[in-house]
Structure 1
Amino acid sequence: MKLAIIMDRYENPYAGTESQVLKLVKGLMERGWSIRFAVFRSTDYSLTDDFPVPVEHLGVGSLSSPKSWWQVYRYARVLRLQGIPLVHVFFNDASVICPPMMRLVGLKTVISRRDMGFWYTPKYLQALRLTGRWVSAAICNSRAVADITSQQERIEADRLRVIYNGYPEAPRLSEITNSTRTADNSPIVIGIVANLRPIKRIHDLIEAVARLVSDELDVELRVVGGGDQKPYLEKVRELGIESRVFLLGSQSDPEQHIQAFDIAVLCSETEGFSNAIIEYMRCAKPVVCSRTGGNPEIVEEGVSGYLVPVGDISALADRIGHLVSRPDLRARMGKAGQEHIHSRYSLVNMLNQHVDVYDRIAPEVMDS
């Protein structure tokens, strides 16, 4: 049982795609699979020995360089000689170069799509459509991502497969802090886990919190995520809520902070499949999130949380405010969300479904 995984780069095990790749590699290895893992370009993390298997650095540069294509072709020949029949590809450049180069030596390629295509440019789309004819299957982490992949890259439905992200068993409710907190002297904690990027629309959440404060609700906002804090701090000062907003930076274990949230928020402009929302619900937190991408596939309106239109600050403030004064509702929604995650997004399901795709595309992968 042999498989090669190729990515543009591997930044760190905490990023969304990278964390799922790590779970996939570990899970397959526990089942006896032999994994080769390669990246086009090195990162500080990939140069360490921390990944479960050795990381091969292919040194692939620009898509327009013939040398890049030749390097991938040479690596494909190595894989063929090693008896590896199938390659699973993540990220953009690898999705363009790998399918035709692997096919030249008789290997099959699976690509992964994990966002709503915000990075697409006309040239990239042209390249993806051209080389996509050699893709055996595209694994998408939500139905919304599958739909956009079909539309933009013109991949037929019979080559698309939706496999939701997989997560370990959620902690028991008894292990969750603050999940049923009633009135005390501390503020209600509104939290978000997101990198400080415009696409996450954290300015919207800051403004929503300011409106709640002006309505004399005792709340505070905690933002967990890396990036340039300056524009957000300026917004906080402009609104006069310095004592109510805390930017905590990047954290290696965001779950520790999520457990202290009373209400968890994600107000992004676009999301393919949000790991943050899953983590919120694993920790039994009610969710208020934007109705975009794969979010409605995770959050059930009025059951595990609320969905609001992208950029609608009034609706965002209203739904958060509705939960602030209703601890019983927060606890009920948190429990419903946790049960949903446990039943639908298990690590075992994710692994089983990947193996099924591999076996269907390249049955010899199970016999190698």
Structure 2
Amino acid sequence: MDNLPILGDASREFAFNAATGTVGSKTVLVYFVNHSTAPVNLGGAERSMIALVEDWYATDPDFEAVFITKAPHGKFVAAIEERGWKYRSFLYRGWTIPAPNPPVSEITYFANDDYRSTLEIIGMMENRRPDLVVTNTLVAPWGAFAAATLGIPHAWFIREYGDLDHGLTFQNGRRETFEDIGMLSQAVFTNSLALRAHVGQYIDESAIDVVYPRVDVDEVTRRAAAAPAVAPFGADPGLAITVVGRLADSKGQWRVIDAIGALAARGVRASVCLVGGQERPDYDVQLLERAARLGVADRVVIAGEQAEPFPFIAAADVCVTPSGIEAFGRTTLEYMATGKPAIASRGGGSAELVEPGVTGYLFEPDDTAELADRLELYARDRELIVAHGEAGRARAVELVSHEYSNQAAIARLVETATAEPARLPNVARYWFSLPPTYFASAGRGRRITLAFIRTRLPGRLRAVIARPVSALRRRRSR
């Protein structure tokens, strides 16, 4: 259940004080809107938002954060409760969705949740009005809609491309979605220069701030010293490679498996440990089958989701970020912080973290042979592993104290609390009420729900029949 009684009226007159990071004599009250339940693990977006709030509290102990998050409760709410922070959860999805052209029953089913929750969030903000609303990731706009309905300043953290990296579909089109983000926000942040350039096609790039996710290098080093929960490599791994990240086509673990196969054909032995949960119940089986076809199945270990991934990084010689494109590449920075050479694709934010030939290498995501070439350099030169690892850690220390730090973002956010907000027309609240009203009338909700279940059931049954053990394991993890 939600842990937060929203009481009182926090509306006030104020003036920004840049020296203290506060508004007048009162601290900024900020509502942070989260897009995910984090059913299996905290993603990079959630971890980055939590780190930002922690840094803000460290800057100003009287600052108050309240979280609006997606229901049902998962790892994100657990992390919030562990820190003693306030939150309320709501049923909603988003305006970026997993697949294009969903059936009408699916659109209507989720519209009921989305817009009913928007009305409830508006009521929450009226009951205790924040100085600023911050939306985390481009997925869910409902907090931004509520803020604009009430004339509350709003900031948006874009931490992904959406379609290019996660395969999401923009319900109203990519250009239209980013333009709306710009229209609804008095400050927009991206987590890399690469993503800022991408978003800058649709929003004035000069108005977009960059904030690198905070990685505590000393904390990473401490946690990496522990023993891995399971053995990451066999007795004779050759070049030991670790890849951390959700198992999915878009994350590109298959590229590393193909590269290991190419190295085996050259007479170079290499092994990989894959650390992370998976989107599809049978995806680990598909990766192992791919490795078997290449004759390297004995050199692939799938460790699964791990509470402590850093010992697996420490056990490797080199680490790889093999996704086609990453908005930032937190794992790339974590590899470097652990003192490991990092190999990453040239797509997205990782390319601005790695110094080729100094802290690691870059490769074209469509060129597995180039990835194999980079790995072979390390397999044949152990001194290069040490040199690039040491340089990588020094580079990580430099990056976490960069101009694109949380401290700079906090100062910008406090200033944003005094900005002139966007306003939706008064009729917007009526528009938000229409889907729930339709859903509740004349038994339509039951018919829509049944139709929605019918569209989902065949795919779920096929997954259970094809991979029953994997399906049960995923259900238990959720």
TM range (shorter): 0.7 to 0.9
3-state SS of 2:307 partner: coil
1:133 and 2:183 correspond:
yes
Q: Which residue identity does 1:354 align to in structure 2?
A: A
Deviations, residues 186-209 of structure 1 (Å, cap 9, x unaligned): 622112112211112222211111
| Corresponding residue number in structure 1 for 2:238 | 187
**Among candidates 41, 44, 54, match of residue 16 of structure 1:** 44
Aligned to 1:181: none
Does the 8 Å contact 2:239/2:378 carry over to 1?
no
SS at match of 2:215: coil
CA distance in 2, matches of 1:74, 1:348: 38
TM-score (norm 1): 0.87
Q: Quick check: 1:188–1:324 contact (8 Å CA) kept in 2?
A: yes
Q: Report the more deviating stretch, 9-18 or 201-210.
A: 9-18
Structure 2 residue aligned with 1:204, among 216, 231, 255? 255
Cα RMSD of the aligned pairs, angstroms, is 2.8
Say if 2:251 and 2:322, in contact at 8 Å, map to a contact too.
yes
**Gap runs ≥5 in structure 1:** 178-183
8 Å contact kept, 1:166–1:347? no
Query: Which moves more between the two structures, 110-119 or 21-30?
Result: 21-30
**Which residue of 1 is the match for residue 68 of structure 2?**
38
- Tell whether 2:52 aligns with 1:4: no
3-state secondary structure, aligned to 1:207: helix
- Does the 8 A contact of 1:40 with 1:57 survive in 2? yes
In the comparison of the two structures, how many residue pairs are matched? 355
Corresponding residue for residue 102 of structure 2: none
- Shift in Å at residue 214 of structure 1? 2.6
Contact 1:291 1:310 in 2 (8 A): yes
Name 1:290's counterpart in structure 2: 345
SS of the residue corresponding to residue 102 of structure 1 reads helix
* Structure 2 counterpart of 1:324, one-letter code: A
| 1:116 lines up with 2:116 in the alignment | no
Which amino acid is the alignment partner of residue 73 of structure 2? T
CA distance in 1, matches of 2:402, 2:87: 23
Q: Once the two structures are superposed, what CA deviation does each residue of 1:65-112 show, in whole Å capped at 9, x if it has no partner?
A: 4774464355345335534210110134433x3334312312111111
Distance 2:113 2:236 in 1: 64
- From 388, 408, 416, the equivalent of 1:353 is 408
Equivalent position to 1:213, from 242, 264, 267: 264
Task: State the match for 2:56 in structure 1.
Answer: 28
CA distance in 2, matches of 1:229, 1:185: 22
Most deviating of 57-66 and 130-139? 57-66
AA matched with 1:163: V
> Contact (CA 8 Å) 1:282, 1:338: kept in 2 or not?
yes
Pick the aligned partner of 1:244 from 294, 299, 323. 299
Q: Distance in 2 between matches of 1:304 and 1:160?
A: 28
Q: Secondary structure at the match of 1:292?
A: coil
1:283-313: CA deviation from partner (whole Å, max 9, x where unpaired) = 1101111111111110011111111111201
Higher mean C-alpha deviation, range 159-168 or range 35-44: 35-44
Q: What is the CA-CA distance between 1:134 and the residue it aligns to?
A: 2.1
Alignment gaps of 5+ in structure 2: 1-26, 96-107, 226-234, 420-478
Shift of 1:222: 1.2
Residue 255 of structure 1: how far off its partner (Å): 0.3
Of residues 131, 144, 160, the one that matches 1:85 is: 131
TM-score normalised by length of structure 2: 0.68
